[in-house]
Structure 1
């Protein structure tokens, strides 16, 4: 291990989100425009470049690495990246995880488990087929549910991620809590953020989770649960009736900046230091100009010195 990754405020970086593609087989209304134009393939890092960046961050003390997209499982030969990074578990890395929409999870669950993945986050915003199709614009609820079943059968822990949308799915949160309890999964509720071009007015559907929590407490017995789950930004509550946990990710109403331990890298090799900032540091140019690991690390350290204390 090299010197630890520390930002200008003394916060140690131990969590990396690594995007492997901008492509997705869904067009969720809060995430991307229905007419999204994807990047030229030569602008996207190849799997070797992604692996190198992952290993540089692991050497700097990143303990948890989450593969994201787009939808990671649409990336050709993606299992090779999981297998390579999975070999670092116990050798610097504590956990390799995945965020997915579940559409291809039935096919990939067993090989993911074999590569070292032990936990997956699955995006699921409704258990109603028509509503699910409307939110995702082209997704199949049955395929996602089949993927969740396959993940559980492969021994993977499953966390369900639900973006809480006023007037769209907020009448379904109680149902989702009960359903997650039935399958033995934690549920994490997420506030929508006004970032990126989606073709939708997200402000109309923004729902502060403090408001939603007050509503849920009329039906469920919720208590603070300080246990961490994956080193991420969620604050957890224990649900007495199901025994499972309810996570709340509140980047807009109650940010988690003071304890921020994470950065993300886009599929084009831009290092983003803050969830709420769209400025980034280009690592791709250095990769493709022959920089060694020390040169990449120097770029990362310079960027971390500029990591903001909080987002606006």
Structure 2
């Protein structure tokens, strides 16, 4: 089913257009928005979800038209990069309708990049459509190239299907970055082989420290592998050089001389990257989180629905951005073994 979207990028008229860029209380401009289109996922990764999740009732989610309007309100305020996430975004019914509608901001030049983070399970089906919508770069989560281990980490994912999706994206001309969560005693001894595979296929690789969000039925203290330690191990075999390359996210990149590829390190625990944070996240219910690692949030669904123009909505966004904290409080708590933040990653969006 295809929904008849209206062009609402300038809803609110000249008043919305006259509003300035989004700048927080610390002088950081917010130019990157990550929007979760669903909390549902067809995987149950051990560091992200519990095996038996309670998902939101579908009627609690923003409609696709509301998601379009919300994203467009941020684009009107200077957001240049827009990433759709989940859960798994490509399991949302008719999600390509949203991609097609948002691509108009690429056509006008207001938006620099429209992209997606996916587990790859549906990518073979949608890769060509994503490319047609102007998606030039995507992130795919792959924590191991061992099919049996992959199924264990995701609880029921099919590595072959994901790799098929990666090949389809590459064939469609989309640049693929692989995201891998570094997990102690799980994939730490195959990180080098994952990196060599990625670089051999022309993909960048970003390694991510496990984040203490939500109860997942596993001890994060047992999962946590510091990337400082990973880098030291890799440096014994490879020549690693820090480079000034950024994609808009928190990764700090290295060039690997022997492979000719790039390796990103996302280190919320060993190296706080908050000083240059330009990102905010909106959930599929319209809740704006100004920081992934803090509980403070703002309801944008009520102002979104309160008025047909964006005046009330933009006022709510301004008030929230002013409250954006200086940094997160992520820590692996070895005493209480409780997550730093009790909501799951799938609730906020990747």
TM-score > 0.5, shorter chain as reference: yes
- 1:64 corresponds, among 81, 84, 87, to 81
Matched, 1:86 2:103: yes
- 1:102 corresponds, among 103, 120, 123, to 120
Matched, 1:222 2:240: yes
- Paired residues of 1:119 and 1:156 also in contact (CA < 8 A): yes
- Paired residues of 2:306 and 2:312 also in contact (CA < 8 A): no
- Tell me the secondary structure at the aligned position of residue 88 of structure 1: helix
Match of 2:225 in 1: 207
- 2:278 corresponds, among 240, 261, 268, to 261
Instruction: Name whichever of 193-202 and 183-192 sits farther off.
Output: 193-202
CA distance in 1, matches of 2:205, 2:295: 28
CA distance in 2, matches of 1:113, 1:302: 36
Matched, 1:4 2:21: yes
CA distance in 1, matches of 2:302, 2:289: 15
CA distance in 2, matches of 1:258, 1:184: 31
Matched, 1:19 2:19: no
- 2:193 corresponds, among 175, 196, 199, to 175
Matched, 1:126 2:144: yes
Matched, 1:112 2:99: no
Match of 2:183 in 1: 165
In the TM superposition, what is the alpha-carbon distance from 1:252 to its structure 2 partner? Answer: 1.2
In the TM superposition, what is the alpha-carbon distance from 1:291 to its structure 2 partner? Answer: 5.4
- Tell me the secondary structure at the aligned position of residue 105 of structure 2: coil
Count of aligned pairs between the two proteins? 311
Match of 1:245 in 2: 262
Match of 1:54 in 2: 71
Unaligned runs of 5+ in 2: 1-16, 330-350
In the TM superposition, what is the alpha-carbon distance from 1:16 to its structure 2 partner? Answer: 0.4
Q: CA RMSD in A?
A: 0.9
In the TM superposition, what is the alpha-carbon distance from 1:292 to its structure 2 partner? Answer: 2.3
Instruction: State the Cα deviation string for residues 146-181 of structure 1 (Å, max 9, x = none).
Output: 000000000000000000001111011011011011
Matched, 1:29 2:51: no
Unaligned runs of 5+ in 1: none
CA distance in 1, matches of 2:127, 2:311: 35
CA distance in 1, matches of 2:177, 2:295: 27
Match of 1:286 in 2: 303
Instruction: State the Cα deviation string for residues 97-147 of structure 1 (Å, max 9, x = none).
Output: 100000000000000000110011000000000100000001000000000
- Paired residues of 2:304 and 2:312 also in contact (CA < 8 A): no
Instruction: State the Cα deviation string for residues 205-259 of structure 1 (Å, max 9, x = none).
Output: 1011111100110111110111212x11100000111111000000111111110
CA distance in 2, matches of 1:215, 1:206: 16
Match of 1:303 in 2: 320
CA distance in 2, matches of 1:278, 1:246: 30
CA distance in 2, matches of 1:27, 1:60: 35
- Tell me the secondary structure at the aligned position of residue 263 of structure 2: strand
Match of 2:173 in 1: 155
CA distance in 1, matches of 2:146, 2:71: 37
Match of 1:194 in 2: 212
Match of 2:338 in 1: none
Match of 1:137 in 2: 155
CA distance in 1, matches of 2:169, 2:101: 20
